[in-house]
Chains A and B, each alone.
Chain A
Amino acid sequence: MSEIAAKAPARPRRRLIVSRFVPYLLLQALIVIATVLGLQLLQPSDPDDFALSGFSLREDGTTRPVTLPHFTSSRYSLADPPLYTGAFAFKNGDAAWSVFLPRFSNAVEVAINGVVVLDSRRDANANRPDRNTPEIAAIPSSLLHDGSNEITVRLFVWGPLKGFLDTVYIGPDAALRPAFETRTLLFVTLPVVFSAWQSILAVILAIMWLMRRREPVYGVLAAAMVLGVVQAFMPPPVPPGTVSRLASVLLASAPIESALIVVFGVLFFGWRWPRYGMLLFVPGLIVFAVGLIAGPPLPRILFLLLGIPTVGISLVLMAGVTAAAVVRRQDAASLTIGCAVTIVLTCWIHDMLSVFEFVTNERTFVSRLSYSAMLVAIGAGLTWRFARALNQVDSFAGQLVARVREAEERLKASFAREEARARAAALANERTRLMRDLHDGLGGQLISIVALSERGHEGATITDAARAALKDLRLVIDSMDDIGGDIMLALGSWRERAAMQLRPHDIKLHWRVATPQGLPLHPELRPWHVIQIVRILDEAVTNAVKHAAARHITVTIDTRDDGEGPYGVISVADDGGGFDLDGDGEAPDANQTARGLRNMRSRAARCGAVLDLSSDQSGTCVRLQLPQVFPDSDAAAG
């Protein structure tokens, strides 16, 4: 059961891979074929009428006839270079003649009838094995004479690549020049254009990265482009070079650059860069380090052994990354980059086949050119994506403003509703509380007054009941006031009322506040807490008046702290006769007293206070210990 469940999601995924990956692979195959065909078609045509391919080669002391194009062995010494000697016919009266060498590696020195007319070593760019720089040189007419003339070509080779000399063309300058121009355009001008383009994109991408540090993809691509530009304009690491060490360090640029492109691909398609991915930079760094330490030719050999394969691996990785992105996303960006990578990879394989002479062609290297083109395409694509993102942000911002306004309206409406509801609830709560408070005191007292007056009672009892009612009314009104959590303010009013109540009975009220600030502040204090506390104190005073025959009542207000925060203690002590706490005594109103005590206890419990009562012959003391924090709701005990 569970096995089926586990397999179920795998099947559509496999189907997805098949349905997307196979067409992609077929498309890439088509692109490979198109690239190969394109490379064949783009091969510049040379003026075959003036080709000179029969030469005799003197190399290492031996002379043998060879046919151009010709590969010669790799070597590391510039002394005694291979010397090609050939002959060509010249008829006086023709226009100016030139000698045209479409492809050679690494450098040539051409002499006509023993006079040197061309030395490519002076042209740093011409000496780069990764470029396909052509050379042309006008032959001074004074050098030529009717009939057979001799041409000698010294081929300077520096390893590890083999030397190569393509067919040499000698003929009227007008006939040779167009082929030279075409090659110059393709292999000299175009790379410069690409490099310039890259440098501009590098600046743009670097600025983007500087402004958006959390998107390293721009920075990586900018770094790759900067490396590419530097590499393109630096002289190659050849013996005549004046800064050969610096140049040999720059050999490392190609593998590092390709590794950067893989980083770019991984980041661009939203993967996490794996930690071991940094291994990809190791070959480039080794070449770099060796270039710093050792002079040529070691860096060049290492470059061939490490750098070139790294470029290949990077391209394959990049192809894999883009293929996966295509399968996963099916978007234009991944498809375009995927196709571009395939083209570059094809060109790279083409170059490798050429280097190792698996295919005999004219040793035209195209991977650098195609790679530059790819970088430019990627940079342009990124810029396009950035612009589109800006547009999206604009429209998103517009939508957002509208949505926020909408939400604001809704919120306002709901807030107003909520406020009205809360107000109504608060009002209802307040009414309930007020009703209960009035019911507890005033209501009962008024009813008692009605009953007393109906039974014809005279004076004193009715007066007492009415006074109690008025006192309670004042208490209820007072408790509604906001006292800011300071119980002392409520006690201040209570003191006045109590003093007024006690004066006719000739009882002295002593007021003792133990600490100058009174009681601790209670921000959570609510009217219902205050009213319970004051009613307890009222009850204590009333008991002292009615039952204890006291002469003095002492109210003590104190603040204690047992280490868990301060709390207040209010005690009401009288010097009366005391009473029996069990309530079964001989006092006629023992039941009433017991009820009063029960009432006081339940009121204290409602606001989280503790009531202690002690009574003996010397008097009664009611001790009310207030809580550190008053309870939120009086419903719990009420």
Chain B
Amino acid sequence: MSDHHIQLPEGSIEKQTNTLNLGPTHPATHGVFQNILEMDGERIVSATPTVGYIHRAFEKIAERKPYYQITPLTDRLNYCSAPINNIGWHLTVEKLLGIKTPKRVDYLRVIIMELARITDHLICNSVIGVDSGAFTGFLYVMQYRELVYEIYEEICGSRLTTNIGRVGGFERNFTETAFTKIQKFLDEYPAVLKEFENLFTRNRIFMERTQGVGPITAERALNYGFTGPNLRAAGVDYDVRVASPYSSYEDFEFNIPVGTTGDTYDRFLVRNAEMWQSLSIIQQAMDKLKDLPSDVFHADVPAYYLPDKEDVYTKMEALIYHFKIVMGETDILPGEVYNAVEGANGELGFYLISDGGRSPYRLHFRRPCFIYYQAYPEMVKGAMLSDAIICMSSLNLIAGELDA
């Protein structure tokens, strides 16, 4: 051999894999997740996710806050569907205190929670589209998220971190405008959703990009603690709304859509199907509301529900309750309660230990994202780099909830 060969550094031929650091601020990672990927060419040999970049110690902060001040903390968990978190927390406190809410409150809550579920799903699904290179669908549905945010704004005054509702019901009654806008949403969104589905579900490119990507079997999904659309895509029809109904979900007729393979495509389809179900639930709730008195929007629990400002100025009891609630003088009962609601991306649980003080002794959020993400290395093993991105978006990971 001649000596014109290039001298390669020691070991460079043997080294088959490269390390790729994806995130924590990569535009395609939907938040601050870091993934250290070991790549063999374009294929993923192993993935090591790192989380905690926006950890804000909510559980610790909650140990210092009166229960009503914990609502804003829950807003910042899954911020794509903040009202579900708020109402889930209120339901937990109500369960502990034994508060029974009027039917109208339940139905109003159902409307809000289902609207939140739709906004969460439409963002997730349209972002799966964006990650596969189709931006159009995202634009189609985005204006309807805007409309839902207007509805929130009409009800509670804020849009993203809603802080919607109070323990016992809502802070104020829904206005006529709110109902008009909800009806507008119900009238207009089906056509948009249909168009969105037409754009994606039978689209050859989209199917190629998502079918068989990031699959998980029902058995593994259960072992990993999956819930929500990600579990249902694998074929298990577990839904908290049906298994242990809360907020009068037992009064509504709806189906639980399930998939078969548990891949990205099925997760997409399950979410789409759920949006149709949610629309039907909202319509049913709107119909039921017509038969109920229109002035009930909270339970009659003066010790826990902030009184009307007018009463605070004129009635002694209202002033006392107002003071006690605002100063956090109201003790909550000692006890332990675990309460779960069907969040937009799975079972959102609140485990609350109260020692009888003004704030929880211990509050633990069972955050579905945190549970899903640990299965990610297994799901993307052997997949392509671009599959890793689309698999991540189809899991509907929200950094705020993951890191709490």
Chain A bound to chain B: no
Footprint of A on B, CB under 8 Å?
A: none
